[in-house]
Chains A and B, each alone.
Chain A
Amino acid sequence: MAKQILLNNIEVPGLAGFEVYRRLGGYSAVEKALKNFTPDQVTEEVKKSGLKGRGGAGFPAGMKWGFIDKKNETRYFVCNYDESEPGTFKDRFLGQMNPHLLIEGMILGSYALGARSSYIYIRGELFYVLKILEKAIDEAYLNGFLGENIKGSGYSLDLYVHPGAGAYICGEETALLESLEGKRGNPRIKPPFPAIVGLYGCPTVVNNVETIAALPWIMNNGGEAYAAIGIGNSKGTKLISACGHINKPGVYEIELGLPVEEFIYSDEYCGGIRNGNKLKAVVAGGSSVPILPAHLILKTAKGEPRLMSYESLAEGGFETGTMLGSGGFIVMDDTTCIVKNLLTFSRFYHHESCGQCSPCREGTGWIEKILTRIENGQGTMKDIDLLVNIARHVEGNTICPLGDAAAWPVASAIRHFREEFEEHVKLQRCPLSK
C-alpha cells in the first residue's frame, strides 16, 4: 500500500464530521502550530517540505508564501476549489470526504500568512460540497478552532465558502480574485502578483485544495519528513484522478516516483485497460498538457521507464514528454479517435476563454471550427498545418495561461498522431466513427 497522507482514513465512516476527524488526530496540527510555532516557523516547515502547488502549475508553496508582503496589516489566504480542468476530480472527492482536513489546512496557512478572514472559492456546480464545507466550518467554530482567540492563542480567524458560477478561467488565481470581488473572471496582468496586490488590493496567497490539505501532515511530522517522501524534486504524495478507458477509474494517492506502467496496469491503481484493449494514448496531467502515445508515456525517448513525477513526465520536453499538471490522468484505448478527443478539448477551451485577449478569444474558436471540419470529413491537408500555426500564435501571447492550455493539446496531438489527422482528410470521414 502506498504512503497515505491525504487519503488516510478516507474510508472511515463519519470522517466528514468533527468528532470522527478529531478522534483520529484531527486539528492536532493547528494546536501544535498555535502553541509552539511562530507564523514564520510554519512557513519555514512548508519551505522545507518541498511541497509544490498541486493545482497544476507546480510552483513551490513555501516560496509562494514567502513572497507575501507582510508590511500590509490586512492579508488574505484563499483556497482555489475551482476544480475544472478536464480529467481532474481529486479536489471534489477530497473536500466532500474529508472537509475538516481542508479546514485545518486553511487555519494553518492563514496563521502562517497572518490572514484574519479566509475564503474557499468553490466552483458553483459543486454547491453540494459547499454545503458539506459550511457544515464542517460551523463545527470548527463550535469547537473553538475558528473564530475569536482560537484555543487561547490570541489568533482569530473567520473562514467562508464562496461559490463561483461556471467559469473554468476562475481557476486562474487572479481571475479567481476578480470573481471573489464580484466581477467577471478576467485574469489580471501580472506583476503585481497576488502576494503583493491580491484580494481587495491586499497581499494574498491562493493555493489549491490538495496543497492546503497537505499542510496538517507537514505540521505534524515536519517538513523534512515530507521531503523524504517522493523522488528528486517531486516531494511527497500526489492525488491522481484517473479516468477514461481503464478498469478502475478513481482518485489515487501515489508516492511521487511511481512508474507510470505500474500505475496504469497494477490492480492497486487503474487495473489495466478496459476489455483487454490496447493502450493508445494518455493525457497525464489534465486536458491542457501534451498528449503522449503509449510508447512515450510508458518509457521516455531514451528508453527509461517513465515515472509519475514532475521531472520524469517532463523528460524530453514537449517533443517527447509532457507534464504532471493537476494529476488528471486521462487514458485512451485503441478505439479512440484522437481528432475527436482533441475537438472536445478545443470546444472546451473555446467555451471557457474569457475573451480578454484576441489570440485566445479568436484562436480557440478557429481551432474548434477547423477540427470540426476535419472530424466531419471536410478538412484539407492544409488545415492540419493551419492548426499548428494557430496554436503557435495563441501560445505565449495571452495574459493568462489559458492560451497555452488551449494550444498545447493541439500541437501535441498533431506532433504524435499526424497520420490520424491525414487519414481523416484522405478518407473524408472519421476512420474510427461507427
Chain B
Amino acid sequence: MEDKNNITAFNTGTLALVNRIIKRYPQGRQKSALLPVLHIAQSENNGWLSSEIMDYVATLLDIQPIEVYEVASFYSMFNLQPVGNCVIEVCQTGPCWLKGAEEIIAHYEARLGIKVGETTADGRFTLKTVECLAACGNAPVLQVGTEYHEHLTLQKAGQLLDKWQAENKISHTNPYL
C-alpha cells in the first residue's frame, strides 16, 4: 500500500466543529464526544485510526489514551489498520442474503481480485462485509462512506464500481460536512 500522509492534529476548521460538538454535553462530560470525534478523526486520517491520532483525540477530550483505544476497538465502523481510498461495505445479514448479497460480494471479489477484508494492491479499494444496515426492504444493499446503495443487482453493482474507479472515489469524507 502506498505511504499515506496521516495527520496528527486537526486544522482550525475541524477544531471548531469538534468544540461545537463537545459543548453538546454537560460540563465535565466531554468524553461523550468521543464517538463523533473519532468519526471525524478517521475521516481526516485517510479512513483509519492510527495510535497517533487516537492519542491526539485523548488530549482534545482530556481523557487517557486507553479510554480512546478501548472504544475505537469496540465499534465496527472504526478501522484500526489502513484501508483503501474507497471502502465498499456489503451487507451480508439474512434479509440481504435472501435477496442475493453473496452474488454481489463474489462479483466484487472477482472484479477487484481480492477477498473480503482485503485491499487492492494499488490501495484504491477495500472490500468488507457488514452486518445489517437497516435497509432490508431494499436488499441487497451496500454502503460507501455515508452513501447507501440499494436494490443492488449484479449490473448495478458493476456500474457502481465502474463509476468509483473512474472518479477515484474516496469514501472517508468528514461525515458532518
Contacts and interface: CB of A to CB of B under 8 A. Distances in A.
Contacts of B39: 124, 127, 163, 165
Contact of B132 (A84, A180, A251, A332): A84
Contacts of A244: 95, 98-99, 136
Contact of A91 (B26, B63, B70, B134): B134
A255 interface: no
Given A162-B36, A182-B31, A125 B94 contact: no
Interface string A46-87: 000000000000000000000000000000000000011111
Nearest to B70: A184
A92 B147 contact: no
A128 B146 contact: yes
B156 interface: no
Contact of B98 (A242, A250, A336, A351): A336
Nearest to B71: A184
A234 to B, nearest CB: 23
B136 A200 contact: no
Given A89-B136, A124-B75, A344 B97 contact: yes
Contacts of A126: 134
Contacts of B133: 125
Interface string A147-175: 00000000000101011111110000000
A190 interface: no
Contact of A182 (B35, B132, B175): B35
B134 A125 contact: yes
B134 A89 contact: yes
B93 interface: yes
Contacts of A127: 39, 146, 175
Q: A-side binding surface: helix, strand, loop or mixed?
A: mixed
**Most A Cβ at <10 Å: residue of B76, B98, B138, B146:** B98
B27 to A, nearest CB: 11
Contacts of A185: 74-75
A162 B76 CA distance: 17
A88 B38 contact: no
A279 interface: no
A249 B137 contact: yes
For the complex of A and B, list the 9 residue pairs with the smallest distance between their C-beta atoms, beginning with the closest. A165-B75, A166-B76, A182-B34, A166-B77, A182-B31, A243-B136, A249-B137, A127-B175, A184-B74
Interface of A: 83-89, 91-92, 117, 123-128, 130-131, 158, 160, 162-168, 179-185, 200, 241-245, 249-251, 283, 287, 328, 330, 332, 336, 340-341, 344-345, 347-348, 351-352, 354
Given A86-B131, A125-B130, A184-B74, 16 more contacts: A85-B132, A86-B136, A89-B137, A92-B135, A166-B78, A167-B76, A181-B32, A182-B67, A184-B71, A244-B98, A251-B137, A287-B132, A341-B94, A344-B94, A344-B97, A352-B131
